[in-house]
A and B are shown apart, each in its own frame.
Chain A
Amino acid sequence: MSFIIKTLIFESVFQANPIVMIQFIPLLTIQTFAAVISFIAGALVTLVVFFLIFTSSKEEDKTSAKHKVYKMRGRYFFGLVLSIVIVLLLTLRLLPYEKFQGTPEETVTVVAMQWMWKMGPGLSDKKPAEFGGAGEITLPANKMIRFVVTSSDVNHSFGIYNSKGVLVTQTQAMPQYNNILEHVFDEKGEYHILCLEYCGLPHGLMVGKININ
Chain B
Amino acid sequence: MIEISATEIKKQKKLVLTWSITFLTVFPLLIILGLLMRLNQGEKISLGMDNFYVLMTLHGLGMAGILYSIAFAALWYLIGTRYAKLNTGTGYFVFFMVLAGVAGLVIATLIGKFGAGWYLLYPLPFKGTFWPTWATGLSIISLIILGIAWLIGIIHLVYALAKEFGGFSNLLGWQYIRKKEVDRELPPIVLITTVSLVPGVIAFIAGAVFLVMFLLQHFEPTLAFDPLLLKNLIFFFGHTLVNITLYCCIGWVYALLPEFTGRPWKVDKVVVYSWNATFFFILFAYFHHLYMDFVQPLPFQYAGQIASYLSAIPATAITMFGVIAQLYHSKVKWGVIPLSFLLGTAGWAIGGFSAVVDSTIAANKVLHNTLWVPAHFHTYMLGGVVLFILGFLFYLSHSKEEQEKDKMAKFGLWLFVIAVHSFIATFYRGGLRSIPRRYSDYGGIRIEYTHSTGALLAQIASVFIGLLLVGLIIMYVSIIVKLSKRKIPSAGA
List chain A positions with a Cβ less than 8 A from chain B: 4, 7-8, 11, 15, 29-35, 37-38, 41-42, 45-46, 48-49, 52-53, 55-62, 64-66, 68-70, 72-73, 76-77, 80-81, 84, 87-88, 91-92, 94-99, 114-115, 153-155, 157, 159, 161, 163-172, 174-181, 192, 194-205, 207, 209
The one of A81, A194, A202 in contact with B313, judged by C-beta atoms closer than 8 angstroms, is A81
A170 to B50 Cα, complex, angstroms: 26
A70 to B353 Cα, complex, angstroms: 22
Q: Which residue of A lies closest to B426 (CB)?
A: A8
Q: Which residues of A are found within 8 Å of B368, using beta-carbon distances? A: 157, 170, 196
Given A30-B366, A153-B127, CB of A84 within 8 Å of CB of B327: no
The 9 closest A-B pairs by CB, nearest first: A167-B434, A165-B450, A205-B444, A94-B362, A65-B329, A179-B294, A204-B439, A196-B369, A114-B128
Which stretch of B86-94, B134-142, B303-311 is in the interface? B303-311
Q: Which residues of B are found within 8 Å of A7, using beta-carbon distances? A: 456
Q: Are B346 and A49 in contact (CB under 8 A)?
A: yes
B408 interface residue, CB < 8 Å from A? no
Q: Are B293 and A174 in contact (CB under 8 A)?
A: yes
Q: Which residue of A lies closest to B440 (CB)?
A: A204
Q: Are A95 and B301 in contact (CB under 8 A)?
A: yes
Q: Which residue of A lies closest to B435 (CB)?
A: A165
Q: Are B306 and A88 in contact (CB under 8 A)?
A: yes
Given A69-B325, A153-B123, CB of A200 within 8 Å of CB of B313: no
Q: Which residue of A lies closest to B454 (CB)?
A: A165
| CB within 8 Å of A: which B318-377 residues | 321, 324-325, 327-332, 334, 339, 342-343, 346, 349-350, 353-354, 357, 360-363, 365-370, 372
Q: Which residues of B are found within 8 Å of A198, using beta-carbon distances? A: 53, 117, 121, 124, 438
Q: Which residues of A are found within 8 Å of B491, using beta-carbon distances? A: none
B316 interface residue, CB < 8 Å from A? yes
A78 to B316 Cα, complex, angstroms: 12
List chain B positions with a Cβ less than 8 A from chain A: 49-50, 53, 115, 117, 121, 123-124, 127-130, 224, 226-228, 231, 262-263, 292-295, 298, 301-302, 305-306, 309-310, 312-313, 316-317, 321, 324-325, 327-332, 334, 339, 342-343, 346, 349-350, 353-354, 357, 360-363, 365-370, 372, 428-429, 431-434, 436, 438-447, 449-450, 453, 456, 459-460, 463
Q: Are A69 and B324 in contact (CB under 8 A)?
A: yes
Q: Which residues of A are found within 8 Å of B362, using beta-carbon distances? A: 30, 91, 94-96
The one of A35, A45, A197 in contact with B346, judged by C-beta atoms closer than 8 angstroms, is A45
Q: Which residues of B are found within 8 Å of A153, using beta-carbon distances? A: 123, 127-128
Tell me if B's interface is mostly helix, strand, loop or mixed. Answer: helix
Q: How far is the CB of A111 from chain B (nearest CB, A)?
A: 15
Q: Are A171 and B294 in contact (CB under 8 A)?
A: yes
Q: Which residues of B are found within 8 Å of A76, using beta-carbon distances? A: 316-317, 321
The one of B295, B444, B460 in contact with A8, judged by C-beta atoms closer than 8 angstroms, is B460
A45 to B315 Cα, complex, angstroms: 14
Q: Which residue of A lies closest to B295 (CB)?
A: A177
Given A45-B346, A96-B362, A196-B436, CB of A60 within 8 Å of CB of B292: no
Q: Are A97 and B298 in contact (CB under 8 A)?
A: yes
Q: How far is the CB of A140 from chain B (nearest CB, A)?
A: 22
| 11 additional A-B residue pairs with CB within 8 Å, beyond A97-B294, A192-B446 | A31-B367, A37-B357, A38-B350, A38-B428, A58-B331, A76-B321, A98-B294, A164-B447, A165-B453, A166-B366, A200-B127
Given A41-B353, A53-B342, A80-B316, CB of A69 within 8 Å of CB of B432: no
Q: Are B313 and A52 in contact (CB under 8 A)?
A: no
Q: Are B309 and A154 in contact (CB under 8 A)?
A: no
Q: Which residue of B lies closest to A73 (CB)?
A: B321
Q: Which residue of A lies closest to B48 (CB)?
A: A201
Q: Are B329 and A70 in contact (CB under 8 A)?
A: no
* Contacts A/B (CB < 8 Å), 23 sampled: A41-B350, A49-B342, A49-B343, A52-B324, A52-B342, A56-B330, A57-B329, A64-B329, A73-B325, A91-B305, A115-B128, A153-B123, A154-B121, A165-B434, A167-B434, A170-B292, A170-B369, A180-B294, A194-B445, A197-B121, A198-B117, A199-B124, A209-B446
A29 to B429 Cα, complex, angstroms: 14
A37 to B298 Cα, complex, angstroms: 27
A161 to B124 Cα, complex, angstroms: 25
Q: Are B294 and A200 in contact (CB under 8 A)?
A: no
Looking at A7, A8, A194, the one whose CB has the most chain B CB atoms below 10 A away is A194
A207 to B357 Cα, complex, angstroms: 28
A197 to B346 Cα, complex, angstroms: 31
The one of A32, A46, A115, A204 in contact with B441, judged by C-beta atoms closer than 8 angstroms, is A204
Q: Are B293 and A172 in contact (CB under 8 A)?
A: yes
Q: Which residue of B lies closest to A166 (CB)?
A: B434
Q: Are A77 and B317 in contact (CB under 8 A)?
A: yes
Given A170-B366, A174-B295, CB of A159 within 8 Å of CB of B436: yes
Q: Which residues of A are found within 8 Å of B226, using beta-carbon distances? A: 176
Given A155-B121, A165-B433, CB of A80 within 8 Å of CB of B456: no
Q: Are B331 and A56 in contact (CB under 8 A)?
A: yes
Q: Are B365 and A204 in contact (CB under 8 A)?
A: no
Q: Which residues of A are found within 8 Å of B363, using beta-carbon distances? A: 30, 33-34, 91
Given A164-B449, A204-B442, CB of A34 within 8 Å of CB of B434: no
Given A65-B329, A92-B305, A194-B436, CB of A200 within 8 Å of CB of B124: yes
The one of A33, A42, A57, A84 in contact with B309, judged by C-beta atoms closer than 8 angstroms, is A84
Q: How far is the CB of A102 from chain B (nearest CB, A)?
A: 16
Q: Are B123 and A167 in contact (CB under 8 A)?
A: no
Given A57-B330, A87-B309, A175-B123, CB of A201 within 8 Å of CB of B53: yes
Q: Which residue of B lies closest to A181 (CB)?
A: B294
Q: Which residues of A are found within 8 Å of B321, using beta-carbon distances? A: 69, 72-73, 76
Q: Are A11 and B429 in contact (CB under 8 A)?
A: yes
Q: Are B49 and A201 in contact (CB under 8 A)?
A: yes
Q: Which residue of A lies closest to B226 (CB)?
A: A176
Q: How far is the CB of B411 from chain A (nearest CB, A)?
A: 15
Given A52-B328, A194-B436, CB of A45 within 8 Å of CB of B302: no
Q: Which residues of A are found within 8 Å of B53, using beta-carbon distances? A: 198, 201
The one of A59, A84, A96, A166 in contact with B361, judged by C-beta atoms closer than 8 angstroms, is A96
Q: Which residues of B are found within 8 Å of A200, using beta-carbon distances? A: 124, 127-130
Q: Which residues of B are found within 8 Å of A60, using beta-carbon distances? A: 262, 330-331
Q: Which residue of B lies closest to A155 (CB)?
A: B121
A155 to B290 Cα, complex, angstroms: 12
